[in-house]
Chains A and B, each alone.
Chain A
Amino acid sequence: MIENLDMALVNWSRGQFALVAFYHWLFIPLTLGMTYIIAFAQTIHVRTGNPEWERIAKFWAKLFGINFAIGVGTGIILGLEFGTNWSNYSWISGDIFGAPLAAEGILAFFLESTFVAVMFFGWGKVSKKFHLVSIYLVAFGASLSALWILVANGWMNYPVGMVFNPDNARHEMVDFWAVLFSPYAVNKFLHTITSGFVISSFFIVAVSAWYILKGRNLMLAKRSMVVAATFGLISSIFLATTGDGSAYWVAQKQPAKLAAMEGLYEGEEGAGLVAIGMLRPGKEIGDGQNAFIFKIEIPKLLSVLGYRNADAFVPGAEDLVLGNEAQGIMSAEEKIRRGRLALDALAGYKEAVALDDEAGALASRAVFEENYYYMGYGHLFDPNGIIPNVPFIFYSFRIMVMLGFAFIALFLLLLYLTVTNKLEENRWLLWVGIFSLPLAFLASMAGWIVAEVGRQPWTIQGLLPTMVSTSNINANAVILTFIMFAVLLTILVLAEYKIMLTAIRRGPDNKEKGGDNV
């Protein structure tokens, strides 16, 4: 039993999940985006018969293959963690969470894995059209994998399409389509997948820029640069659009996350968006201090982005914790009180059922259903706990957004200078292209921090807090496996780094120097 909540266990379990997800995400974006770029190059080859494009497709497919072989299966650890570290969560949500994960395993992963073999070994062995279709199917399979995972994640942020069954303590799915097409999940999928496309584009930009700096494989590098910069430009514009959609749904369903993203403590009508700002350290809810040391704000933009209305009221952390009657916002304390009523009624219901007390069971169930919506709040002790870590979320959000807009400008510049054949004269830009790859990963990780740390204290928004989701296992076992994974996954990443760099150094012709210098 979890009568003695071990916060070390909760924090280490969270840390372990974050660690594995972090390493897993180092591999995934390249799988998501590179396949489309390879497919595009091969499409040009099939249509025009130009062998140079096949050479380009083959080279990037080789690097894709290295990433795929080393990265494949790292997500399995996350699945194992659900059953061991997060058994309460798995039990309560298994019916819903399990369906997309099973669909991912059966439909998407097998599709991807089957055609990956044709993609790698089918050059010149099967017809060109069948081979091309296989590459597109690999790309489609990778996107489909991401879809199912992000549908599950979207449901955790905005739980829909289910009812809670108090007899077995499970959320049971009543509407699969509501889960699949939840606007939150759709936006999350589009936003995440395009961030993978942007990272893939930067990978190709970085490698191509290095070749141009070294004066090697110039034909391949310039053509790849044009394709990657175009793909990256389209993706990063789409990324900004889907980011707007994501922010809208965060405002609707997770106001505490939005307040943290904006460092907004006191809600206001016609709220502005903080473009740049520095938060006051030590600021607490209700202390009357200004939340910012300085800030530059774009007037009314937060109300427009969050509610599509320039004068809309955006609740701040204090409104959500202390309540705001004028705006119809219930205080966290009242939500906690109602949540406890729901939990007590659930316990009473189970007791009455065990004693065959039908009247008692009916009465308890009625109280439970009346307060079910606040069930998760019943586990919280501190009303302030409903607000996630404000500085962490605020700065992560700004890093993501600023880099996202910088990427649009960078792709545009790279594309312009490549097509006008002026790229080699601007060597600084080539260096910027190389260093943008880690920055693209940084932006993506910052986005995940906003999404996942911003959802705290919840595993399932409003219904299940993180601290109740864990298993009653020894924290030391989690610490031990944390260290083991850190070592194991670091070795894998280092292996990828080494093998990838060797393959890049050798180039498309498998030589240390030379190539198609023009």
Chain B
Amino acid sequence: MLLNKLRLSFRVFLKKGFSKFGTSKTSGSWVYHSCLFNMGKMLKGFLNSFVSIFVSGYQMFRRSRLARILLIIVVVKFLVFFGLLKGFLYPRFLEPHYESEQQQSEQVIRDFTTTHKPSEQ
């Protein structure tokens, strides 16, 4: 039953296109009116909400000085973290120094097995 409704709903979507969904009551089909899984309606509702949230966010940043300050802080912070820190100050230590994983593991084992020998301190 449920699958059948889904299938019919999908057919209506293919026939009428996205714009008719959720607004038109002309199809006359009971499936069209009662279908719980009207995918087009759901999709349209989702997209409407998404656009509405985006517009609301945009308006908030235009209207509110606080929102703009916070946005600048977030952008500058991430530029510093990923641009400056990750790029220049915090490279991975092992990878650039030792080409293969084998060399990296040998280096770690060398560190690991020599620190306990007083003669090598």
Contacts and interface: CB of A to CB of B under 8 A. Distances in A.
Q: Do A and B bind each other?
A: yes
A65 B70 contact: yes
B73 A70 contact: yes
B112 interface: yes
B92 A121 contact: no
Interface string B19-52: 0000000000000000000000000000001001
A106 to B, nearest CB: 17
What's the dominant secondary structure at chain B's contact region?
A: helix
B109 interface: yes
B115 to A, nearest CB: 5
A170 B78 contact: no
Interface residues of B, number: 43
Contacts of A65: 70
A83 B52 contact: no
Given A72-B74, A73-B81, A83 B57 contact: no
Contacts of B69: 499
A500 to B, nearest CB: 11
A88 B111 contact: yes
What's the dominant secondary structure at chain A's contact region?
A: helix
Contacts of B113: 343-344, 346-347, 350
Nearest to B86: A80
Contacts of B107: 1
Nearest to A168: B105
B15 interface: no
Interface in B45-73: 49, 52-54, 56-57, 60, 66, 69-71, 73
A350 B107 CA distance: 12
Interface of B: 49, 52-54, 56-57, 60, 66, 69-71, 73-74, 77-78, 80-82, 85-86, 89-94, 101, 104-116, 118, 120-121
22 contacts: A1-B110, A1-B114, A4-B121, A5-B115, A66-B70, A69-B73, A73-B78, A77-B85, A80-B81, A80-B85, A87-B93, A87-B94, A121-B57, A121-B60, A123-B56, A125-B56, A126-B53, A168-B105, A381-B118, A472-B111, A495-B73, A499-B66
Given A4-B121, A471-B93, 20 more contacts: A1-B114, A76-B81, A87-B92, A91-B105, A117-B57, A121-B53, A122-B52, A125-B53, A130-B49, A168-B101, A169-B112, A339-B116, A343-B113, A472-B111, A481-B89, A484-B89, A492-B73, A492-B77, A495-B73, A503-B66
